[in-house]
């Protein structure tokens, strides 16, 4: 009976699984073609000092302009890219394109997200170092953002890669900090320059005492470890006020600026109109 049911289920599920797989394959092929047709593009989200007055960097965020379905977010296509060598090709394109763009923005730090499989690719560090040489991008203005997933499971090789990256002289930030499994032990083992407090804490900072408490202790932890702290996902002046008072070094979020085209970056850098001075909203 159980076997019978199992077989029924198998017969029932197979076409659906097959369909999902087909869709993924199709998207994969479209991404491959899209890379050749130049359908990927980058937006840059500004990062400010905690008083909100000085723009000190940008984070590159990849987008895909699908010919039929329009602009797509990374949450849609990167997980599929992760399953093949595509993540490597897209990641390589992102790195080089971002460095070329950012050459035009003196003083601004360029943050680039790197996914776990990208980082573990044996060609990653050589490619990065070649790209730095080819573009002439100053390495002390480049920062890679990685999530804890990079450090999980592969501690020995992760350590080697992290050390190689540090030897290159680029910055390393731990992204989405606080959302993973054993963040604290990673902080002990890997000496990152910075961590980014995840948006999920920032969003609830005014309504949840827990979020506020966690943010304050994360800032204390960062200070004790000599790390810089960026808070991400700030959408309101109240959140800005809280995070500035909490002692974050850098702030990022829609309140300060949404992801924008390369052409808009310098304009934003020079405009002091936004955000409003704290005194005006107090």
Query: Would you count residue 113 as binding Mg ion (CB under 5 A)?
Result: yes
**Minimum CB separation from Mg ion for residue 152, in Å?**
17
Q: Given the structure tokens 């984070």, which residue do they identify?
A: 59
Which one-letter DSSP state was computed for residue 148? G
How many of the other CB atoms lie within 10 Å of CB of 17?
10
Counting Cβ atoms within 10 Å, is residue 180 exposed (0-12), middle (13-18) or buried (19+)? middle
How far apart (Å, rounded) are the C-alpha atoms in residues 209 and 132?
44
Among the residue ranges 14-22, 127-135, 253-261, 266-274, the one whose residues contact ligand C2E (CB under 6 A): 253-261
Footprint of ligand C2E on 68-87 (CB under 6 A): 73-75, 78
Query: Would you count residue 222 as binding ligand C2E (CB under 6 A)?
Result: no
Binding mask 152-181 for ligand C2E (x = CB under 6 A): -----------------------xx-----
How far apart (Å, rounded) are the C-alpha atoms in residues 196 and 253?
12
**Minimum CB separation from ligand C2E for residue 18, in Å?**
28
Query: Would you count residue 143 as binding Mg ion (CB under 5 A)?
Result: no
Which one-letter DSSP state was computed for residue 259? -
Q: Coil, helix or strand for 26? A: helix
List contacts with Mg ion (CB under 5 A): 113, 145, 175-176
List contacts with ligand C2E (CB under 6 A): 45, 60-62, 73-75, 78, 91, 94, 113-115, 118, 145, 175-176, 199, 232-235, 253-254, 259
């Amino acid at each position: 009976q159980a076997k019978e049911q199992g077989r029924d289920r198998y017969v029932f599920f197979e076409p659906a699984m097959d369909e999902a797989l087909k869709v993924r394959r199709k998207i994969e092929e479209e991404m491959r073609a899209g890379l050749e047709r130049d359908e990927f593009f980058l937006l840059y989200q500004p990062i400010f000092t905690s008083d909100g007055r000085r723009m000190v960097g940008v984070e590159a965020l990849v987008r895909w302009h699908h010919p039929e379905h329009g602009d797509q977010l990374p949450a849609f296509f990167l997980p599929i890219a992760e399953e093949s060598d595509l993540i490597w090709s897209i990641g390589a394109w992102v790195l080089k394109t971002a460095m070329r763009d950012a050459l035009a923005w003196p003083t601004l730090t360029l943050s680039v997200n790197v996914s776990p499989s990208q980082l573990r690719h044996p060609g990653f560090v050589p490619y990065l170092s070649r790209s730095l040489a080819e573009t002439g991008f100053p390495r002390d203005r480049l920062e890679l953002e990685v999530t804890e997933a990079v450090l999980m499971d592969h501690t020995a090789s992760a350590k080697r890669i992290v050390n190689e990256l540090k030897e290159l002289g680029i910055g390393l930030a731990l992204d989405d900090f606080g959302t993973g499994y054993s963040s604290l032990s990673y902080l002990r083992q890997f000496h990152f320059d910075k961590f980014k407090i995840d948006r999920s804490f920032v969003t609830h900072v005014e309504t949840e005492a827990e979020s506020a408490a966690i943010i304050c202790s994360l800032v204390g932890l960062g200070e004790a470890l000599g790390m810089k702290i960026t808070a991400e996902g700030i959408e309101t002046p109240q959140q800005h006020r809280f995070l500035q008072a909490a002692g974050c070094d850098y702030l990022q979020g829609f309140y300060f600026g949404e992801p924008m085209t390369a052409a808009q970056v310098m304009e934003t850098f020079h405009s002091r109109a936004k955000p409003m001075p704290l005194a005006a909203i107090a």
